[in-house]
A and B are shown apart, each in its own frame.
Chain A
Amino acid sequence: MLGKLDWSAIPFDQPIPLVAGAMVLVAILGVLAWVVVKGHLPYLWHEWITSVDHKRIGVMYILLASVMLLRGGSDAIMMRIQQAVAYQSQGYLPPEHYNQIFSAHGTIMIFFVAMPFVIGLMNLVVPLQLGVRDVAFPTLNSVGFWLTATGALLVNISLVVGEFARTGWLAFPPLSELSYSPGVGVDYYAWSLQISGVGTLVAGINLVTTVLKLRTKGMNYLRMPMFCWTTLASNLLIVAAFPILTATLAMLLLDRYLGFHFFTNEAGGNVMMFMNLIWAWGHPEVYILVLPAFGIFSEVVSTFSGKALFGYRSMVLATMAICVISFMVWLHHFFTMGAGPDVNAIFGIASMIIAVPTGVKIYNWLFTMYGGRIRLATPMLWAVGFMVTFIIGGLTGVLVAVPPADFMLHNSMFLVAHFHNVIIGGVLFGAFAGFEYWFPKAFGFRLDERWGKAAFWFTFTGFYVTFMPLYIAGMLGMTRRMQHYDVAAWRPWMIIAAVGMAVLTIGVICQIMQLVVSIRNREALRDRTGDPWDGRSLEWATSSPPPVFNFAFNPDVRGEDAYWEMKAHARQQSFAHEEPEYQDIEMPRNSPTGFVCAFFATIMGFALIWHIWWMVILGGIGAFATFVVFAWRDHDEYVIPAEEVARIDRVNLEERRSLVSMAGAV
């Protein structure tokens, strides 16, 4: 009846996951109870859960990422403490638990923190920057978000029901095959990634179509803000790479569920085929994450230097070059496979070549700052911190791209330090910069600068104290994923790294404090004009938060830095106070399709993990029925009358006029 599921799935003998799981459960139930008691449920349902508004969905993506960042961060703290204490002892985490933690940490940080964070920012900002009312497929956008949430939910369920994978975040066979991992851990891993992977693919298709087909009048390709370009590149990579992940995990699942022989040791299976396939997705994935961050830095650096981006066209070229070359370097993840010197040399050289367009970008940002009027607001701090940190990470990357060096450093702590250096220093700093930069746009008030700067300095320092020692430990021969060790020389570095982790934790606390303090002082921090940073692109041309339709009129763009020129023009011509002719606006209706579909996907995923076949069929029928019901509805749009549009638009226009006339007077 319930497949493999019985009471032994709950780890009553392991206090840590049980207590952690109970705490999460209490927190979720507490929030739910509060929502119901306070009567917020209808609001939450109508305005958020069923919303197909790209801004709301973007915010929900970022919320999901932030919550999961705390989960993945807790895993990181536990690992750092374990390695600090497990010298010539077992530490406090038994091996099978430690293995689950490092697997969950990697999986969560990549798939449920970094991905939703950057997809959330792209969702929130790109339609605004393109001057349009929504993404290409609003309901599908909601489906994509909720499927990502389903994946995150399944990973968290594994904390208390059953176990998570002990195989590392990419579940290499033959360890991940049924004969060596007979439990449900790998199944939790694979199904949660399959389901959230569908969500990611949907988001990718949506954003590619949005950028290529839904630009406002006059928004030629070479007038798009840099963030739109990097969004395009990143989502092209999603569309081209995520199907590879889907296929690879499908093969692994076929091996595990139906006794196929893709990657087994017996009957002619080929383990190295898994490495090739997974990294053919895995390396583009790195650029899927970091390209949007590059876009964010471009926007931030240009805005806070008060200058147009230096070398816009070279930046576009560099972005698209990275987009293409990122598919030609995957083999550098396993130089030690023994493909021979020729193959290794080609992939080594390709890996070094990809550093060239990245270097172009760094110089472009530096030259943008050169001669600019730099304001060191929090987003800009993250951007400058990124440039310093990312250069170090990039250089160690070029170092491991040299095959002979890689033979020494493969799977060592040096590698761990390298990829944390580029992912924290690149993606996470970028996500935080974007968060600080666009928060006023999303919510209508700024974030507290003092707490924001404190968060930056603690995170920045904490990062160096944590990860520089790992480089050294790697040079001293320490391999990754060690539950305990007996080499005295490694120990001091592990202790320093643990101290660094504490500093990083303070940074996270500052970030939370910043949110709390800012929400409390939101009236004082209110952004009335919609343009708190003196911005350059179209998202600043509408109010904060933008009305549901984004723009009363689709803007007519005549050049790069559209909003900057708009402001310059308004100052010169001292604004005609004519009332424009407002028109009715059609917007897509909200739909519970995404939420209901994800509900059935959760049931189906859980049932597949535990081999509860009747429930699988039930979930599948439910998901299909949801789509049919969606396809059957007769009204998919509603009309906002012209008077309503006018009422909303006049308020912001007034604020903006007063700002421009003030600036003109100065």
Chain B
Amino acid sequence: MTMTATVGHARADPHHIGVVIEHPGPAPKRIVTAYGFWIFLLSDIVMFSCFFAAYAVLVGQTAGGPKGAEIFEQRNVAIETVCLLLSSFTCGMASIAADVRSRFWFYLGMSVTCVLGLIFLAIEFREFADLVARGYGPSRSAFLTAFFSLVGCHGLHVSAGVLWLLTMMAQVFAKGFRADVLRRMMCFALFWHALDIIWVGVFSVVYLLGGAP
């Protein structure tokens, strides 16, 4: 018995509360990684919440420019939403494929996710380009500033997600379903689903509430 191996006499219930659950020790790597990434996602959501707050404060400050109802096209937004929600489903399929080590279904799931993400980005880009061309760029009014920033911030996240997605596919191609690759895949899936959740917020707050006449 050494000093570093054992500690003191047993005093498992120092405060006599009756129940003692001994902490089992450090968690396995998979849990630690996912837990840390969850905390990152929460912090990312805090950052988004600032842009949501700014949008809520500035939504009425149109400075003589257009209001939301005059520029939002609900049909495009509906297609975007369908793309993103479907991509969450295919991303989930890719995760399952990775868990059962099926390369074919993994590549397929990730490819479809990538294409859906790109369609989403293309529609968003066209919407932005169209607004700027009509003179309704972010410098036009504080409302448009907040709109472009919030939606653009989400779009940047999706772009980063697509880059990550392609890197993940390359990793699986080069390294196979190694433990560390699988952990990264799990983080990617969490990230992609979180973007979906944020989009639900963007859709409701920006396009539905902000688009009210």
A residues lining the B interface (CB < 8 Å):
132, 136-137, 201, 204-206, 208-209, 212-222, 239-240, 242-244, 246-248, 251, 254, 258-262, 264, 266-270, 273, 277, 313, 541-542, 551-560, 562-570, 575-576, 578, 580, 624, 628, 631-632, 634, 636, 649, 653, 656
Contact = CB atoms under 8 A, between A and B. Distances in A.
Contact of B10 (A201, A242, A541, A558): A558
B26 A214 contact: yes
A328 to B, nearest CB: 16
Interface in B4-46: 4-12, 14-15, 21-27, 31-33, 35-36, 39-40, 42-44, 46
Nearest to A573: B1
6 contacts: A208-B36, A239-B46, A262-B54, A542-B4, A566-B6, A632-B174
User: What is the interface residue range for chain B against chain A?
Assistant: 35 or more
B9 A565 contact: yes
A558 B139 contact: no
Contacts of A261: 63, 138-139, 141-142, 145
A80 B49 CA distance: 41
Given A273-B57, A562-B8, A631-B167, A205 B50 contact: no
B149 interface: yes
B159 interface: no
A213 B4 contact: no
Nearest to B14: A559
B111 interface: no
Nearest to A262: B145
B145 A217 contact: no
Nearest to A565: B8
Contacts of B62: 268
B17 to A, nearest CB: 10
A23 B160 CA distance: 42
B26 A244 contact: no
Contact of A243 (B1, B9, B43, B184): B43
Nearest to B20: A220
B3 A566 contact: yes
B25 A578 contact: no
A260 B149 contact: yes
Nearest to B171: A631
B154 interface: no
A239 B54 contact: no
A201 B4 CA distance: 33
A649 B2 CA distance: 11
B180 interface: yes
Given A136-B36, A209-B35, A553-B4, A239 B42 contact: yes
A248 B50 contact: yes
Contact of A260 (B3, B138, B171): B138
Interface string B137-169: 011111101101100000000000001000100
Contacts of B14: 559-560
Contacts of A247: 47, 50-51
Contacts of A628: 167
A268 B61 contact: yes
Contacts of B25: 215-218, 554
Nearest to A259: B139
A214 B44 contact: no
B58 interface: yes
Nearest to B1: A576
Contacts of B1: 576, 578, 580
Given A213-B32, A218-B22, A566-B7, 17 more contacts: A215-B23, A220-B22, A240-B43, A242-B43, A243-B50, A247-B51, A254-B145, A258-B138, A262-B58, A266-B63, A267-B142, A277-B54, A556-B7, A559-B14, A567-B3, A636-B180, A653-B2
Contacts of A553: 2, 4-5
A132 B9 contact: no
B34 to A, nearest CB: 10
Interface string B61-104: 11100000000000000000000000000000000000000000
Given A542-B4, A576-B1, A208 B63 contact: no
B2 A580 contact: yes
Contact of A267 (B24, B46, B141, B184): B141
Interface string B166-178: 0100010011000
Given A243-B46, A248-B50, A565 B11 contact: yes
Contacts of B12: 558-559
A262 B146 contact: yes
Given A269-B145, A273-B57, A558-B12, A218 B23 contact: yes
Contacts of B46: 239-240, 243-244
Contact of A246 (B8, B36, B47): B47
A214 B57 contact: no
Nearest to B170: A628
Contacts of B180: 636
A219 B10 CA distance: 13
Nearest to B140: A267
Contacts of B31: 213
Contacts of B3: 541, 566-567, 570, 575, 653, 656
A580 B5 CA distance: 9
Nearest to A236: B39
Contacts of A631: 167, 171, 184
B8 A566 contact: yes
A554 B26 contact: yes
Contacts of A239: 39, 42-43, 46
A216 B24 CA distance: 8
B8 A214 contact: no
Contact of A244 (B6, B47, B140): B47
Nearest to B50: A247
Q: Which of A568, A580, A631 has the most CB of B within 10 A?
A: A631
A268 B149 contact: no
Contacts of B148: 260
A541 B139 contact: no
Contact of B6 (A273, A313, A556, A649): A556
A254 B149 contact: yes
Given A268-B141, A554-B26, A218 B7 contact: yes
Q: Which of A136, A206, A214 has the most CB of B within 10 A?
A: A136
A423 B180 CA distance: 42
B184 A569 contact: no
A243 B57 CA distance: 19
